Amino acid sequence: DADVTQTPRNRITKTGKRIMLECSQTKGHDRMYWYRQDPGLGLRLIYYSFDVKDINKGEISDGYSVSRQAQAKFSLSLESAIPNQTALYFCATSGGLAGGWDEQFFGPGTRLTVL
């Protein structure tokens, strides 16, 4: 079974709709992240959480919100989706610096299309 899972894997929605993307992990990691990926722009950080009570904005948080329901779950919401939020969304987890560096492990991605 995959260590980091995302649901749904694909979603098509309309402008103005509320959308929630979910991420679960079985790695036992405290740190979780949400990124979006657009062609030519690489991965950009939306929000991140270093433990259940910690939520931080990334570089492009406008139009998004998150909820850390448990150590293993981190969801991303688009309150009112707009077409320029069409992108590939990745969740990632990391375990901190215990191993010498804080490697991030990525989920399979959610392809979101906003019409």
Partner 1 sequence: GQNIDQPTEMTATEGAIVQINCTYQTSGFNGLFWYQQHAGEAPTFLSYNVLDGLEEKGRFSSFLSRSKGYSYLLLKELQMKDSASYLCAVIKAAGNKLTFGGGTRVLVKP
Q: What is the DSSP string of 31-72?
A: EEEEEEEETTTEEEEEEEEEETTEEEE-TT-TT-EEEEEETT
- Site mask, partner 1, residues 15-54, x = CB under 8 A? ----------------x--------xxxxxx--x-x----
CB under 8 A: which stretch of 13-21, 22-30, 66-74, 102-110 binds partner 1? 102-110
Q: How far is the C-alpha of 109 from the C-alpha of 9, rounded, in Å?
A: 6
Q: Toward partner 1, which CB reaches closer, 48 or 80?
A: 48
Radius of gyration of the chain from its Cα atoms, rounded to whole angstroms: 14
Query: Which residues form the interface with partner 1 (CB under 8 A)?
Result: 4, 31, 40-45, 48, 50, 56, 58-59, 90, 97, 101-109
